[in-house]
Structure 1
Amino acid sequence: MLHTIIIDCFRANLQLQQRRLGHRLRGKAPILCRTIKDRLEELNYKDELYTAKVDIGFPADRRTSVKQEQLEHLKRIKNDKQMEKLARNYQLEIDLQEAKKVWLETLGPYHKKQIADHYSIYEHLYGEGYFVPFINIEVTYDLKNGTCLPVYTGNVIKPSEALEQPEVLFKSDGSSLWTLVLSSLDGHMQDSSKEYAHWIVANIPGNAIEKGDTIVEYIQPLPLKGTGYHRYVFVLYKQNDRILFDIPEVTSPAQLEARTFVTRDWYKKYQDIVTPAGLAFYQTIWDSSVKDFFHDILKQKEPIYEYDFPEPYIRPQEWFPLRKPFNLYMDKYRDPKQVKKEYLVRKLKNEDPFKSPDPPLRFPNAHPLPHSMPSWLKLHEKKIRLGWGRVNDV
């Protein structure tokens, strides 16, 4: 008996909750349905086995002496009365090179990693892998006018500014070996999941790039017209020993197909020998040097990507198109070239290169129109008098 009463009370409670302000609610009762949080977790569920990030780089330097030096430096700054006085009077000068050096030794690598994550660099290079670029690489392009253009983290460099291989500098002892790879993440013309290797130098002793084994010769960036900005990434790998990479050598810039490269597959094959340590990347967009490269070096027509807009939908013609201007309605079903030609002829009919144009009517709508003129033609004449319509945009 008690069990039956509990069930009846539960059903009555459900019926009360299914009505709100006199309206019956659809769906399950609030006490039975899932919360928004549960629903979002179900929709956004990702398997941790495939989404967990893996650090493939070198571990951070956990020396206590570095932190101790920073604390002592802060104490010295706070106790310096003269420095405080200069700061209050806006006269304190800061050594930017020293500030940059401190930044690179402390938070700089982590800031670079955050920017690279923002541009999806690690995702498109290694999938679930990432690394913190503790080795700072300075990449600069010589502009041949006494200035250099550096590569930072995502700055824009035009292809005409990167025609020749850049100068790459990084700190290293003479006994270590390195590999430098420059690849484009968005430039492959056949498969969007692959890259083009624009420059690969292996077995670099110390930081002498010119003494390394050039596997793939350098070529300029090739962002195709109409495809927006492309990302070009420099990655510096530290080698455990001298390596003979199983990559075909590319010595000619015309061998574009031979430059097909997949960083993830390449790293997966040599992950026990190489470790990523340095990172720099930039963005680039089409300019005329890309066209010259295709015509002069590849001897082929430059691919151009444009968005094809769909043809506008035109309803079938009606016997009596009510409340539609006759001339505009009929223009929809005519050849657009013929319509533009008629408007151009009408525009040029009243143009004289040796005479000034006629003065406009002082009161355009005060001049009566014939009563026998149809309404659509009256509207057309009024637009001409007022300077409205397509004929005045030609």
Structure 2
Amino acid sequence: MAASMANGMKNSFIKSLLNSEGSHRLTNVRYATGLRLRRSGKLPGVARTFEQRLEDMKLTKQAKPPNVNIGFPLTKNSLIEEQTKAVIKKKRRQLLAIVQDGKLKIDLDKVDEESWNTNKQEQLHRLTEHYGIFRDLFGGAYFYPHVNLDVSYDIPDDYELPVYHGNRIEPSQTGRPPNVYYEAEPDTLWTLLMTAPDSHLQDNNTEYLHWLVGNIPGNEISKGEVLCDYLQVFPVKGTGFHRCVFVLFKQEQKIDYSSDRLNPNTCSLRERSFKTFDFYEKHQDHITPAGISFFQCQHDESVRDVFWNKLGMKEPCFEFVFPASYHPKQKKFPHKQPFDLYLDRYRDIKDIDEEVLREKLKSVHPFKPPTPPPKYPFLHYNDEVRGKPSWIKMKRKHMLLKNMQWRES
């Protein structure tokens, strides 16, 4: 009855509105019962005003609008396209006959190489966007790499470890400055940047600057102005993979980088705190991003040496330490619990591992390959455990099934 009375009050209220002010008022009224008459509105006090929505849509100082190309415009290699079209047009009939006969053989490696050379800019742009580098370094703005940035690290035995676009490199292999090469005219100026957007210990929106060289004449890195000395990467233990990015900027003129220069051989993480977005925004009238290369790295033992001997601080660690398993006080006569499993709770894990290892070594011969597992593991089970306690029967069953501590690691 109460529900019918409430519905009657709603209907009478709506009828009064129709009679007094017309049906067009229905789209603008919210009444006290909680019905929303505006299609896209919310309850009073919850709906955001038009001014608040505009504020949300406005771009802050720290973010550039997405889908803005801050680099050189994308240009297709028209010469390659014209040559390809001419060859296909000339040999179309011959290729069609070979395909129909099933005699056409294609070198897939050559096809991949040709595809890479033809669409290199778009593919590099797609890879860089996939790894979130445009989002984290330039606030969503992007560019197409027009310059091939070849970066490699020297490793023992006169080998070079190249940096591609997302390959994995160990921190111990980045102890020395890398070899950087790109094609450039001698009278041009360039800026090379190396940054780590995932390594900052306090602020996720800040990077650590590992290397910065400006006013480089042509491709001679050694003759450039070193604004920040090179520092090996140091991904902290327990933080997963870190991205290390090289960005090459082309300068329109010589730039005064005095305000960006750090102290020589500085190892202060506070001084090396850096934002590529702010650096580019400061010099955007004179520099244009033209090349990019990056790799991934994860913690290894060399990171400890960097923190202790170069940075002068203890090595942080973000690995979760699991607390020890809680076991109640041991009882002399546990009720309705497996005898061996109950005792194993209070044994040292090293003793259990030693017991398992000794049991496994009984079936291992030093000069023969391991015996394959039996097809029917329970074929002789009854003969082995006949007349023995139940806990030994259960233990033997776990051994045959490779369960619990007998599981193959």
TM-score, length of structure 1 as denominator length: 0.67
Q: 1:367 to 1:91 in 2, by over 3 A?
A: closer
Partner of 1:302: 315
Q: What aligned pairs does 1:121-200 form with structure 2 within 5 A after superposition? A: 121-200=133-212
Q: Using the TM superposition, name which of 76-85 and 261-270 deviates more.
A: 76-85
* 1:284 equivalenced with 2:297 (yes/no): yes
Partner of 2:377: none
| Counterpart Cα distance in 2 of 1:250 and 1:132 | 33
Partner of 1:18: none
| Counterpart Cα distance in 2 of 1:83 and 1:210 | 54
Q: 1:345 to 1:288 in 2, by over 3 A?
A: closer
Partner of 2:19: none
Q: 1:181 to 1:121 in 2, by over 3 A?
A: same
**Equivalent residue letter for 2:248:** L
| Counterpart Cα distance in 2 of 1:384 and 1:242 | 78
Equivalent residue for 1:367, pick from 370, 382, 387: 387
* SS of 1:55 mapped into structure 2: coil
8 Å Cα contact 2:210-2:232 kept in structure 1 = yes
* 1:99 equivalenced with 2:114 (yes/no): yes
Q: 1:91 to 1:119 in 2, by over 3 A?
A: closer
8 Å Cα contact 1:86-1:92 kept in structure 2 = no
**Equivalent residue letter for 1:73:** T
Q: 1:67 to 1:121 in 2, by over 3 A?
A: same
Partner of 1:235: 247
What are the superposed Cα offsets for residues 42-100 of structure 1, whole Å, 9 maximum, x if unpaired? xxx9965448414242342558xx43651243212442589959994538798799837
8 Å Cα contact 1:56-1:275 kept in structure 2 = no
| Counterpart Cα distance in 2 of 1:78 and 1:151 | 39
| Counterpart Cα distance in 1 of 2:112 and 2:392 | 72
* 1:70 equivalenced with 2:90 (yes/no): no
* 1:340 equivalenced with 2:339 (yes/no): no
* 1:205 equivalenced with 2:225 (yes/no): no
Kindly tell me the number of residue pairs found equivalent between the two proteins. 333
| Counterpart Cα distance in 2 of 1:135 and 1:150 | 16
8 Å Cα contact 1:83-1:92 kept in structure 2 = no
| Counterpart Cα distance in 1 of 2:115 and 2:252 | 30
Q: 1:385 to 1:288 in 2, by over 3 A?
A: closer
| Counterpart Cα distance in 2 of 1:209 and 1:264 | 23
Partner of 1:271: 284
Equivalent residue for 1:116, pick from 128, 134, 142: 128
Partner of 2:370: none
Displacement after TM superposition at 1:347 (Å): 5.7
8 Å Cα contact 2:144-2:290 kept in structure 1 = yes
Q: Using the TM superposition, name which of 79-88 and 293-302 deviates more.
A: 79-88
Partner of 1:380: 391
8 Å Cα contact 2:385-2:392 kept in structure 1 = no
8 Å Cα contact 2:398-2:404 kept in structure 1 = no
What are the superposed Cα offsets for residues 226-252 of structure 1, whole Å, 9 maximum, x if unpaired? 221110001111222222222242432
Q: 1:296 to 1:68 in 2, by over 3 A?
A: closer
Q: 1:147 to 1:340 in 2, by over 3 A?
A: closer
| Counterpart Cα distance in 1 of 2:313 and 2:391 | 51
Q: 1:162 to 1:86 in 2, by over 3 A?
A: farther
**Equivalent residue letter for 2:82:** L
Displacement after TM superposition at 1:184 (Å): 0.5
| Counterpart Cα distance in 2 of 1:153 and 1:342 | 44
Displacement after TM superposition at 1:286 (Å): 1.8
Equivalent residue for 1:58, pick from 71, 89, 100: 71
Aligned CA-pair RMSD: 4.7
| Counterpart Cα distance in 2 of 1:115 and 1:345 | 46
TM-score, length of structure 2 as denominator length: 0.65
Partner of 1:247: 260
Gaps of 5+ in 2: 1-10, 12-37, 41-52, 362-379
**Equivalent residue letter for 1:224:** V
Q: 1:109 to 1:250 in 2, by over 3 A?
A: farther
Displacement after TM superposition at 1:285 (Å): 1.3
